[in-house]
Amino acid sequence: MRFFLRLGKLLALLFWALVLVNLLASFAKPFGVLLHVAGASVLLIHGLELLLFNARLEQRPRPWLERLQVLLFGAFHLFGLPPATLLEVEHA
């Protein structure tokens, strides 16, 4: 399982690198626009994940670092977190 989480994080990092390169020097006409739309969509989805799991991330030692990783990696980071304790479940 850990292998797939790390592979997913690596692929997500490559995706964000492509989005950044596309922002700096746009790709060919249809691909550049599609990459912009995909990047905005993934950022929106990761933002929603951040809102949904904010209470769980607050319990972590460095919540801002956890939030940044959720914005970058999404579910690949959330699946790697330890299971929620009973206190975290009661607060939700």
Percent residues over pLDDT 90 in the chain: 71
- Both tokens of 2, joined, read 């850990």
pTM metric for this prediction: 0.81
Nearest-angstrom CA–CA distance, 22 and 14 = 12
The mean-pLDDT minimum among 11-15, 16-20, 39-43, 57-61 falls in 57-61
Residue 85: its pLDDT value, please? 59
Residue 36: its pLDDT value, please? 95
Q: Which domain holds residue 80?
A: 2-91
- Check pLDDT > 80 for residue 58: yes
Q: How many domains does the chain have?
A: 1
